[in-house]
Amino acid sequence: MASASLICETGEWKDLKEHVEDIKRTHLRDLMDDNERCKSMTVEYDGIFLDYSRQRACQETMKKLFKLAEAAHLKEKINRMYNGEHINATEDRSVLHIALRAARDAIIRSDGRNVVPDVWCVLDKINDFAERVRSGSWVGATGKPLKDVVAVGIGGSFLGPLFVHTALQTDSEAAECAKGRQLRFLANVDPVDVARSISGLSPETTLVVIVSKTFTTAETMLNARTLREWISVALGPHAIAKHMVAVSTNLTLVEKFGIDPNNAFAFWDWVGGRYSVLQCCCCVLPLSIQYGFAIIQKFLEGACSIDKHFYSASFEENLPVLLGLLSVWNVSFLGFPARAILPYSQALEKLAPHIQQVSMESNGKGVSIDGVPLPFETGEIDFGEPGTNGQHSFYQLIHQGRVIPCDFIGVVKSQQPVYLKGEIVSNHDELMSNFFAQPDALAYGKTSSQLQNENVPAYLIPHKLLAIYEHRIAVEGFIWGINSFDQWGVELGKSLASQVENS
């Protein structure tokens, strides 16, 4: 008999299990015909419009999921996270990525200390450093401005910054700020990735930013040594001080590597590696050099808006809570383990790879946070591509092979409007026609003309999306009663790899 502390032992869980039979007797088409139900399944906050009416759920389902949230003490767990309690029990740490984007005057405590001033001290240092590099007052060993950056990191120290860079590259305001600059990423230990990351770059005009929370990750450290060699051979060992900086919690190892501690940007162990996309350094440092701090500050403000919403909105109006509960419903009750992330925006091309890590590394667990083996599966198998590319790739399986819950993400206003003479709609509206049609094709729901009459308000902005997914993943873990903030399974792989390397 599993411990009573497991969520699957509660009456609320069993009630939902029985409810599955009711839902199986319905068809999504019928659920979609119930206008009152569909209207009750839309929520809007700060320019994000969520329509979850195409989920195989009814209002009764939602009521039962809110009761499950109570049984899981969801609100208490959110409060404990925001209060800086060590909810990452296995590593005895707070989980305070919300502090990374808090307003300067906010008070967020970890172990009794308000950490927000520390965050802003680093943000101000980044702002100053980025401005010096961008303006040319910080130059390389031969006196040339550093117009190119190679960010070395892997996992959350790579996928998040890559996602944001991909989203900003085609934004006209951001692109203007980045004129004449290149930002490259080096993640894989494969020397092909090294070659690609420095192809066409000169050491004289390149700044290497080593991004590593631990400063021990084997791939990152070998890549850092490889680029250190590339710079030293071209410019001499003394050049390291001008061409390499680091972001890490481990300043001792940063200094041991040969980087001046004054050129290191510290961050804290209360930030999980994959939750660090909004980390002052992992993301903000290379991107502030590329685009300027002002653009990135908007990004932080967007995430902060979602943090406030997640903390204060009722569960019925709470975007991350609704999405997290629906994920639990799909995985643990309807038996749909996968989730497709389908942004109808090429700028969001790297959202799915990033969320894959945040979600699957957080919630792919086999024991509860108390170490009790779980009699049910947790986590989602995330995958996705931007629309309409995915429609010409894997959608067939979703249409006629399996039921796969999908996150269709649409953006009202294009970054790059194009409207050819003689075309019925603009290129962006051609894209959005598919955005509206596909969910209905899958759900046999409303016709596209009905949908187009709907008043889909303000556009999605990437940073709010990220914060929503971060908190949605935390909600899933809180409900499943697991630790979404450690990754011991991955650690095992790392230690085995170093054993193989040594042998």
Binding interface with ligand F6P (CB under 6 A)? 154-157, 212-214, 217, 220, 273-274, 361, 487, 490
What is the distance between the alpha carbons of residues 193 and 199, in angstroms, rounded to a whole number?
A: 10
CB of 299 to ligand F6P, least distance (A): 19
Strand partners, 183: 149
| Separation CA 36–CA 379 (nearest Å) | 31
Concatenating the DSSP letter of every residue in 432-470 gives: HHHHHHHHHHHHT-S-HHHHHHS---SPP-HHHHHHHHH
Query: Packing angle between helix 59-71 and helix 319-328, nearest 10 degrees?
Result: 90
Q: Which is nearer to ligand F6P, 110 or 250 (CB)?
A: 250
309 among known catalytic residues: no
Task: Give 191's contacts (C-beta < 8 A, 6+ positions apart).
Answer: 226
**Whole-number minimum distance, CB 501 to ligand F6P, in Å?**
16
For residue 273, give the DSSP letter.
Answer: G
How far is residue 122 CA from its own chain's centroid? 21
Amino acid in position 364: G
Query: In which residue are the tokens 């930013």 written?
Result: 209
- Sheet (strand 264-266) strand order: 182-186, 148-152, 206-211, 244-248, 264-266
Nearer to ligand F6P, 156 or 302 (CB): 156
Output 62 or 254, the one with its CB closest to ligand F6P: 254
> Could you tell me whether strands 406-410 and 381-383 are parallel, antiparallel, or unpaired per DSSP bridges?
unpaired
Distance CA 51, CA 63 (A): 17
* Residue closer to ligand F6P (CB basis): 94 or 415: 94
CB of 91 to ligand F6P, least distance (A): 11
Check residue 374 and report its DSSP letter: P
State both tokens at 25.
């007797």
Residue 367 half-sphere exposure toward CB, CA atoms < 13 A: 10
> By C-beta, is 155 or 445 nearer to ligand F6P?
155
DSSP string, 5-30: TSGGGSHHHHHHHHHHHHHHTS-HHH
Minimal distance, residue 223 CB to ligand F6P, in Å: 11
Report the C-alpha gap between 213 and 84 in whole angstroms: 19
Q: Which two tokens stand for residue 130?
A: 């980025």
Closest to ligand F6P by CB, 212 vs 391, is: 212
Q: Which of 361, 380, 385, 470 is catalytic?
A: 361
Rounded distance between C-alpha atoms, residue 195 and residue 440, angstroms: 45
CB of 157 to ligand F6P, least distance (A): 4
- By beta-carbon proximity to ligand F6P, the closer residue of 64 and 213 is 213
Task: Please state the closest distance from residue 73 (CB atom) to ligand F6P, in A.
Answer: 26
Shortest approach of ligand F6P to residue 153 CB, angstroms?
6
For tokens 């667990």, the residue is 365
Q: How far is the CB of 217 from ligand F6P (least distance, A)?
A: 3
Considering the complex, state which of residue 84 and residue 156 has its C-beta at the smaller distance from ligand F6P.
156
Active site residue 97: no
Query: Among the options 392, 399, 423, 454, which is catalytic?
Result: 392
* Measured distance CA(306)–CA(33) in Å, rounded: 32
Residues belonging to the active site: 361, 392, 494
